[in-house]
Amino acid sequence: MNEFLKETDFLNFTHVTLDKFILDLSSDEIDKACELYYRVRDGFLYDPYHLDLRLPALTASVIASGKRAWCVEKSILLAALFRKVGIPSKLGYAVVTNHIGVDKLKGYLQREEIVFHGFVEAFLEGKWVKCTPAFDRRICRLTGVDPLDWDGKSDSMFQSFEKNRKFMEYIHFYGSFADVPLELMNEEMKKYYPHLFQNTYSTKEFSFRHLWSPE
């Protein structure tokens, strides 16, 4: 389990910016994990329109300092917080298709698939349990989707249907990792969204940076 408890350049959980998230936590491990899940899920407005696939931007300490985050960022922060309180954690990634409230995002990505959607696995009560801290309460309210809850005992992944509407489909799982697979993430996004790597995107509405960005 040491591999899933250690600090990394991405999961830099000893940084002071993460301390505020562990204040007044329950002493029970399951309750503690759930409290951290909700603090990360609802502590940041979900924002998939400003993506930076480079090391400095994807460190837990940098993410913790902001107000907005996308699924990969929230997952990194939550995995780091789990390790900070002694809970082994992994980072999971998948290709998904979202059918609700993503017309704007599809316009930028130029295809339906959302590549490298991030989630977290925590080792609790002798087993690995998945959780998905992506969509905060405000975003769920705006899109008419119920927030995804987690009890720390069973997997909490996006539901296929929401109020009889097709919602989220998991197309492919990359697996689980002890640390952020940065090169794989960039390579897969380049495969699915080549235009994002061929042009420059840096506006208030949408920005995208990657390993080969000039700046």
Tell me the pLDDT tens digit for each residue of 162-205.
555 556 788 999 999 999 999 999 999 999 999 999 999 999 99
pLDDT of residue 7: 98
Query: What mean pLDDT is reported for the chain?
Result: 93
Residue 161 has pLDDT above 50, yes or no: no
Chain CA centroid to CA 203, Å? 22
**Mean pLDDT across 37-43:** 98
Q: What is the pLDDT of residue 163?
A: 59
Helix H or strand E segment including 141: helix 137-143
What would the mean pLDDT of 8-17 be, rounded to a whole number? Answer: 98
Mean pLDDT of 6-18: 98
For the chain, how big is the Rg over CA atoms in Å? Answer: 16
The predicted-structure confidence for 57-103, as pLDDT tens digits, reads as follows: 999 999 999 999 999 999 999 999 999 999 999 999 999 987 555 67
DSSP 179: S
* Segment 18-24 mean pLDDT: 97
Binned at pLDDT 50, 70 and 90, residue 158 comes out as: confident
pTM here? 0.95
Query: What's the average model confidence in pLDDT over 11-33?
Result: 98
Q: What is the pLDDT of residue 140?
A: 87
